[in-house]
Amino acid sequence: MKSFTDNAGRVWTLAVNVAAIKRVRALCGVDLNSIIELDAKNQPTAKLLERLSTDPVLLVDVLYAVCKPECDQKNVSDGEFGTAMAGDAIDHATAALLDEIIDFFPEAKRMAFRKILSATRRFEAIARNRMETMLADGKFEDSLVSELERLTGLSASAPESAE
């Protein structure tokens, strides 16, 4: 079982099993069995994976549904759970949830899904590194300032007038 810590310092343990999948279906209308599917050409598609990665509200709803028995034990409501989920807590929870979902499947599917998730994570790391490089060299900020000057007609290098 995977775990993550929310911004309130609470540790949550994820257990994706048949009961959790049924709970997520009932509470969120999301089928975790379709995290990765094959299209008509037998190519993997990851529409649900993309939705969970780009919609933090849906992601936190799914996390709450998976953690619902533990939330009930800790007397943590849906709203309180969501309030404690932002920033890095969402990243850590996402990683834990995806790993736990993949671990749910039988070995053959699990191995294929693990490769897809690994490739996705490598791509995300490359994109993050490129963004960090772009931000660090100053060119991005210079381009942004130039564009703002063009749009506003103001110069960032001109001194402010004292009135």
Sign of the alpha-carbon dihedral angle for 126, 129, 133, 134: positive
- Amino acid letter at 15? A
Query: What gap in Å lies between CA 86 and CA 94, rounded to an integer?
Result: 11
- Mutual angle of helices 56-73 and 47-54, in 10-degree steps: 80
Range 131-141 average pLDDT: 80
Question: Is the pLDDT reported for residue 158 higher than 70?
Answer: no
**How would residue 159 be classed by pLDDT, with cut points 50, 70 and 90?**
low
Secondary structure tally for the chain: helices H, strands E: 7, 4
Query: What gap in Å lies between CA 81 and CA 79, rounded to an integer?
Result: 5
Instruction: Kindly report, residue by residue over 62-105, the tens digit of the pLDDT.
Output: 999 999 999 999 999 999 999 999 999 999 999 999 999 999 98
pLDDT value, residue 161? 58
pLDDT value, residue 19? 98
Q: Contact at 8 Å (CB) between 58 and 51?
A: yes
113 CB contacts (<8 Å, ≥6 apart)?
Answer: 35, 36, 102, 105
Domain ranges, ordered by start, for the chain: 1-104, 106-155
CA 66 from chain center: how many Å?
A: 15
Enumerate the β-bridge partners of residue 2. Answer: 14
Query: What gap in Å lies between CA 145 and CA 116, rounded to an integer?
Result: 39
Phi-psi region of 29 (alpha: psi -120 to 50; beta: other; left: phi over 0): left
Question: What global pTM score does this model have?
Answer: 0.73
Dihedral of the alpha carbons of 96, 100, 101, 102, in degrees to the nearest 10: 110
Query: What gap in Å lies between CA 135 and CA 149, rounded to an integer?
Result: 19
